[in-house]
Amino acid sequence: MTMASLDILNPATGALITTLPADDAASVAAKAAAARAAQPAWAAVPMAGKVAVMQRFRAALLAQIDTLARTLTEETGKPITLSRNEVNGLLPRIDFFMEQAEGAIRDEHVFDGGGMHEQIGHIPLGVVLNISAWNYPYFVGCNVIVPALLTGNAVLYKPSEYATLTGLHITRLLHAAGVPADVMQCLVGTGEVGAAALAQRIDGAFFTGSHATGVKIAAAVAQRMVKLQLELGGKDPMYVRADVDVKAAAESLADGAMYNTGQGCCSVERIYVHEAVHDAFVDHFVATVRGMQRGDPLEADSYIGAITRAPQLQVLQAQVADALAKGATLAIGGHVLPGPGHWFEPTVLTNVDHGMEVMREESFGPIVGIQKVGSDAEAVRLMNDTRYGLTAGVYTKDEAKARELLALVNAGSVYWNCCDRVSPRLPWSGQGDSGVGLTLGRHGIQTFTRPKAWHLRSPG
Ligand code: NAD
């Protein structure tokens, strides 16, 4: 019998980094059973003890940032400065969870009268499964792992096959910090291992990934009473009004479109620009993109990295070809670059419309379409012409107008004069095909618990 294994490749060079032993159905079942057995004792650890564990985890992330960032860069092709930003960016999220966990799940005493006392308790779900994406593995992994552990759950964590070494680092550091090994289990493998984990007795399925896989996850647990949370893709639109500082708006939005080589759920994917400033905006935008440094992801000044998954190159190529065939203009980029590794030029398309795939389907790469609009109403109509609803934004000097327009846009997060931004204090959620449920914010702690209603009549 051959043992299951997983090859870890470097997408910037195509080289094999290592081959890992992978899980199979039997090892997944054993890990799930061990997590189930270990969870009650972990839930019984007082909050101060769990917070102390997370303090040690936080300290280890900081102490080992060089190693962690290098691994992340090698297995995903993310430029090293961005990898460091990601590890550093995790720290305030951990701080938020540590500060807020106790208050978020404290018993709530909601009524006293006529001899009745009513209170709400928040109890851990039990064993939660976290199936994760690769593009920001520290963020999307720990948005679940940290609050789930703080609220007393055991976690089965299936990192993406494109970020498994990072998933193993996270698991190793949590164990070293004091989370019992059975309480925090890493499952190594592809989607098949995720599917095997979904077949186990679990109390919550928390997924970050594509809409197509999200539908499969929902179907897999549909017959069972498993709490389901899906954080899926987006086609995030931004609107630039005529009253902006055009250069500043173009620079901000070019960063929002190209940061992480456009491989972000909240990367800017569509931009609508008022006709009065459209041409100037495109000029500044293209100049900004032209100045973005592409190169060895291990070099500190590289900004554009590799495309993590090879098959995505075809998606990007097809979107460009479809747009050009339908009359779009290529302002810059548009091509797969020669290997080794998987690389695509930062690409800006103008003269686009919603008949083109690039304005309808998630690109998840360094491609953006810029469309001219004549009014606020046209911009809002186009922003809402999508099956997704993750983030959306408006650039304008007029705060009242921004608030008015953003209230009309269907998105879980809305931005005024900023984009591609996540805050630990605010819930992160999607509308439409961008998902159900949420992480982050106070609600993103309570989501790992279920409410228990206490009706208490005193005998006196
Ligand atoms: P993906 O859907 O290909 O894979 C996600 C995870 O699901 C991986 O761990 C994979 O192994 C697993 N998986 C695949 N098939 C499975 C199955 N049948 N059963 C169980 N598990 C299975 O997505 P990806 O390429 O890793 O991530 C990119 C996508 O994630 C994009 O669409 C992006 O927008 C989205 N994303 C969303 C958010 C958010 O917060 N909304 C954040 C990051 C990424």
**Cα 304 to averaged position of ligand 1 atoms, centre (Å):** 22
**Cα 162 to averaged position of ligand 1 atoms, centre (Å):** 10
pLDDT in tens, 188-228: 999 999 999 999 999 999 999 999 999 999 999 999 999 99
Q: What is the pTM of this model?
A: 0.97
- Three-state DSSP at 382 gives helix
Task: Indicate whether 112 and 56 sit together in one domain.
Answer: yes
Task: Indicate whether 96 and 18 sit together in one domain.
Answer: yes
Predicted confidence band of residue 2 (pLDDT cuts 50, 70, 90): low
Task: Indicate whether 386 and 248 sit together in one domain.
Answer: yes
Going by alpha carbons, the residue nearest to atom 34 of ligand 1 is 233
Residue 189 is assigned to a structural domain of this protein: yes
pLDDT in tens, 393-437: 999 999 999 999 999 999 999 999 999 999 999 999 999 999 999
Task: Indicate whether 256 and 217 sit together in one domain.
Answer: no
Domain count, the chain: 2
**Cα 210 to averaged position of ligand 1 atoms, centre (Å):** 5
Average pLDDT over every residue of 304-324? 98
Task: Indicate whether 58 and 167 sit together in one domain.
Answer: yes
Q: What is the rounded distance in angstroms from the CA atom of residue 294 to the CA atom of residue 404?
A: 39
Task: Indicate whether 179 and 95 sit together in one domain.
Answer: yes
Going by alpha carbons, the residue nearest to atom 5 of ligand 1 is 209
pLDDT in tens, 6-26: 999 999 999 999 999 999 999
Atom from ligand 1 closest to the CA of residue 233: 34
Task: Indicate whether 140 and 11 sit together in one domain.
Answer: yes
Please give the pLDDT value at position 455: 98
Cβ partners under 8 Å of residue 424, min gap 6: 92, 93, 95, 96, 97, 440, 441
Identify the CATH number of the domain in which residue 12 sits: 3.40.605.10
**Cα 295 to averaged position of ligand 1 atoms, centre (Å):** 26
Average pLDDT over the chain reads: 97
Tokens of 411: 């998105």
Predicted confidence band of residue 460 (pLDDT cuts 50, 70, 90): confident
The domain of 263 spans 237-419
Question: Ligand 1, residues 156, 202, 210: which to mutate, most atoms within 8 A of Cβ?
Answer: 210
Going by alpha carbons, the residue nearest to atom 16 of ligand 1 is 191
Task: Indicate whether 195 and 272 sit together in one domain.
Answer: no
- Indicate which residues carry an active-site annotation: 231, 265
Atom from ligand 1 closest to the CA of residue 162: 26
**Is it the case that residue 135 has pLDDT exceeding 80?**
yes
Task: Indicate whether 109 and 36 sit together in one domain.
Answer: yes
Give the position of tokens 């197509």. 212
Question: At CA 38, angle to CA 22 and CA 159, rounded to 5?
Answer: 30
Q: What is the DSSP string of 244-310?
A: S-HHHHHHHHHHHHHGGGG-STTS--EEEEETTTHHHHHHHHHHHHHT--BS-TTSTT--B---SST
Task: Indicate whether 159 and 15 sit together in one domain.
Answer: yes
Identify the CATH number of the domain in which residue 361 sits: 3.40.309.10
Please give the pLDDT value at position 1: 41
Task: Indicate whether 217 and 81 sit together in one domain.
Answer: yes
Please give the pLDDT value at position 3: 74
Average pLDDT over every residue of 303-315? 98
User: What is the percentage of the chain residues whose pLDDT exceeds 70?
Assistant: 100
